[in-house]
Structure 1
Amino acid sequence: MSTSAPTVLIVDDEAKSRDRLACLLAPGGYETTSAASGEEALSSVASEAPDLILIAQTMPGIDGCQVASILKADPATENIPIIMVTGVEDTGMRQAGLEAGAEEFLSKPVDPTELGLRVRNLLRLKDMGDLEDQVLVLEQKIAARTADLLRFRTAMNATPDALMLVSRDTMRFVEVNDTTCAMLGYTRAEMLSLGPVALGAATHDELEAMFEPTPGGRIKPRLSEVTLHCKDGGVVDVEIHRQALLSGNDWIIVSVVRDITERRVAQQILQYQASHDVLTGLPNRAWFYEALHGTVRATHSASPSVAVVFLDLDRFKNVNDTLGHAMGDELLVQFSARLATCVGERDTVARLGGDEFGLILMLDQDPAHAATVAGRIAEVLYPPFNLRGFEVIVTASVGITVHPQDGADPEVLIKYADTAMYEAKQAGRDTYRFFTAQMNADALQRQDLEHALRKAVENEEFELYYQPKLLLGADTIVGVEALLRWDRPGHGLVSPGLFVPVLEETGLIVRVGRWVIDTACRQIKAWSLHATGAVQVSVNIAGRQFAEGDLEGDVLRALAAHDVPAALLELELTETSLMINTERTMQCLSNLRAHGIQVSVDDFGTGYSSLAYLRRFPIDKLKIDIAFIRDVTTNADDAAIVNAIITMAHSLNVQVVAEGVETPAQKAFLLAHGCDQIQGYLVSRPLPAHLVTSLMALHAAKVPVSAAA
Structure 2
Amino acid sequence: MSAPHDHSEPLILVVDDDQATRLMLRRALERDGYRVEEAVDGGQALEIFDRSHPDLVLMDAVMPGIDGFTACAKLRSLPGGDLTPVLIITGLDDEESVNRAFESGASDYVHKPIRWAVLRQRVRRMLTESRAEKRVNHLAYHDPLTDLPNRQRFADQLEQSTDLARRRGQPLALLFLDLDRFKLINDSLGHGAGDLLLQSVAQRLTACVRKGDIVGRLGGDEFTVIVEGVASAQEAALIAQKVLVVLAEPFMLDSREVFVTASIGIALYPFDGGDHGTLLKNADVAMYRAKDYGRNNYQFYTAEMSARAMERLELENDLRRALERNEFLLHYQPQVHLASGEIIGLEALIRWHHPDLGMVPPADFIQPAEETGLIVPIGEWVLFSACQQARAWQDAGHQRVRVAVNLSGRQLKQRDLVDTVRGVLSDTGLDPKWLELELTESSIMQNDKLTRSTLWELHDMGVRLSIDDFGTGYSSLSYLKRFPIDTLKIDRSFVRDITTDPDDAAIATAIIAMAHNLKLDVVAEGVETVEQRQFLQDRGCDAIQGYLVSRPVPAAMLDQMLAPKVVQSSDKVG
TM-score normalised per structure 1: 0.42
Q: How far does residue 425 in structure 1 lie from its aligned partner after superposition?
A: 8.2
The Cα of 1:629 is off from its aligned counterpart by: 0.6
How far does residue 498 in structure 1 lie from its aligned partner after superposition? 1.2
The 5 A counterparts of 1:680-695 are 680-695=546-561
Q: Secondary structure at the match of 1:615?
A: helix
Cα 1:340–1:633 change in 2 (3 A) is: closer
**Residue aligned with 2:472, SS:** coil
Contact preservation (8 Å) 1:621, 1:657: yes
Distance in 2 (CA, whole Å) between partners of 1:669 and 1:530 is 36
- Distance in 1 (CA, whole Å) between partners of 2:338 and 2:429 is 30
Distance 1:487 1:708, change over 3 A: farther
User: d(CA) in 1 for partners of 2:323 and 2:522?
Assistant: 34
Alpha-carbon distance between aligned partners in 1 of 2:164 and 2:282, rounded to the nearest angstrom: 26
1:342 is aligned to 2:169: yes
Aligned equivalent of 2:525: 659
Q: Does 1:445 align with 2:272?
A: no
The one-letter amino acid paired with 2:567 is: K
**Counterpart secondary structure, 2:350:** strand
- CA distance, structure 2, for counterparts of residue 506 and residue 694 of structure 1: 39
Deviation at 1:692, TM superposition (A): 1.4
CA deviations on 1:3-50 (whole Å, 9 max, x unpaired) are: xxxxxxxxxxxxxxxxxxxxxxxxxxxxxxxxxxxxxxxxxxxxxxxx
Task: Give percent identity, aligned residues only.
Answer: 44
Q: Distance in 1 between matches of 2:495 and 2:372?
A: 32
* C-alpha deviation, 1:702, in angstroms: 2.7
Letter in 2 for 1:625: D
Q: Does 1:422 align with 2:287?
A: no
Residue aligning to 2:373: 507
Say whether the 8 Å CA contact 2:373–2:410 is kept in structure 1.
yes
From the CA coordinates, give the structure whose radius of gyration is larger.
1
CA distance in 2, matches of 1:478, 1:454: 34
3-state SS, counterpart of residue 643 of structure 1 = helix
Equivalent residue of 1:458, what SS? coil
TM-score by length of 2: 0.51
* SS of equivalent residue, structure 1 residue 622: strand
Instruction: Look up the match of 1:400.
Output: 267
Counterpart Cα distance in 2 of 1:591 and 1:680: 31
In structure 2, the CA distance between the partners of 1:549 and 1:457, relative to structure 1 (3 Å rule), is: farther
- Cα distance in 1, alignment partners of residues 284 and 391 from structure 2: 41
* Aligned twin of 1:487: 353
**Residues 459-538 of structure 1: matches in 2 within 5 Å?**
459-538=325-404
2:566 aligned with 1:701, yes or no?
yes
Q: 1:399 to 1:580 in 2, by over 3 A?
A: farther
Contact 2:285–2:301 (CA under 8 A) maintained in structure 1: no
1:628 is the counterpart of 2:494: yes
Instruction: Please point out which of 575, 580, 589 is paired with 2:441.
Output: 575
Q: Could you list the per-position Cα deviations for residues 130-168 of structure 1 after superposition, in whole angstroms to 9, with x for gaps in the alignment?
A: xxxxxxxxxxxxxxxxxxxxxxxxxxxxxxxxxxxxxxx
CA distance in structure 2 between the aligned counterparts of 1:674 and 1:661, rounded to whole angstroms: 15
* Cα displacement (A) at 1:424: 5.3
Q: In the aligned structure 2, how far is the partner of 1:426 from the partner of 1:516? A: 32
Letter in 2 for 1:342: G
Residue in 1 aligned with 2:545?
A: 679
The partner residue of 1:595 within 435, 446, 461 is 461
Provide the C-alpha distance between the structure 1 equivalents of 2:282 and 2:506, rounded to a whole number of angstroms: 35
Superposed CA offset, 1:187-244 (max 9, x none): xxxxxxxxxxxxxxxxxxxxxxxxxxxxxxxxxxxxxxxxxxxxxxxxxxxxxxxxxx
Deviation at 1:484, TM superposition (A): 0.6
2:535, 2:367 → 1: CA distance?
Answer: 33
Tell me, in whole angstroms, the C-alpha distance in 2 between the residues paired with 1:476 and 1:439: 53
Residues 240-259 of structure 1: per-residue CA shift (max 9 Å, x gap)? xxxxxxxxxxxxxxxxxxxx
Counterpart of 1:179?
none
How far, CA to CA, are the matches of 2:498 and 2:452 in structure 1?
A: 32
Distance 2:485 2:470 in 1: 12
- Give 3-state SS (helix, strand or coil) of 1:467's partner: strand
Paired residue type of 2:534: A
The one-letter code of the counterpart of 1:400 is A
Aligned-residue offset at 1:508: 0.6
**Conserved? CA contact 1:683–1:706, under 8 Å:** no
Whichever residue aligns with residue 542 of structure 1, its letter is: S
Select 1:642's aligned residue among 484, 487, 508.
Answer: 508
- Once the two structures are TM-superposed, the CA of residue 610 in structure 1 deviates from its matched residue by 1.5
**AA partner of residue 520 (structure 2):** V
- Following TM superposition, by how much is the alpha carbon of 1:600 offset from its aligned partner in structure 2, in angstroms? 0.2
The equivalent position to 2:323 in structure 1, one of 449, 454, 457, is 457
- For residue 40 of structure 1, what is the aligned residue in structure 2? none
* Aligned counterpart, 2:428: 562
What is the CA distance between 1:695 and its match in structure 2? 2.1
Shift of 1:685: 0.6
Say how many residue pairs are matched. 330
Q: Whole-Å Cα distance in 2 between the matches of residues 605 and 426 of structure 1?
A: 30
Higher RCO (C-alpha 8 Å, min separation 6): 2
Return 5+ residue gaps in structure 1 as ranges: 1-313, 319-330, 345-362, 373-397, 404-409, 428-432
Look up the equivalent residue of 2:322 and give its one-letter code.
Answer: A
**Aligned partners of 1:540 and 1:572 also within 8 Å:** yes
CA distance in 1, matches of 2:495, 2:164: 45
- Distance (whole Å) between structure 2 residues aligned to residue 438 and residue 569 of structure 1: 48
Q: CA deviation at 1:614?
A: 2.3
The correspondence of residues 320-339 of structure 1 with structure 2, limited to 5 A, is: 339=166
SS at match of 1:573: strand
Q: Secondary structure at the match of 2:345?
A: strand
d(CA) in 2 for partners of 1:399 and 1:522?
48
1:459 is paired with a residue whose SS is: coil
Give 3-state SS (helix, strand or coil) of 1:610's partner: coil
Change (3 A) 1:645 1:337: closer
1:384 aligned residue: none
Task: Give 1:542 shift.
Answer: 0.4
- Distance in 2, matches of 1:400 and 1:615, equals 43
1:613 match: 479
Q: CA deviation at 1:630?
A: 0.7
**1:628–1:641 CA contact under 8 A, matched in 2:** yes
Whether the 8 Å contact between 1:468 and 1:481 is mirrored in structure 2 is yes
Where do residues 364-403 of structure 1 align in structure 2 (5 Å cutoff)?
Answer: 366-368=232-234, 400=267
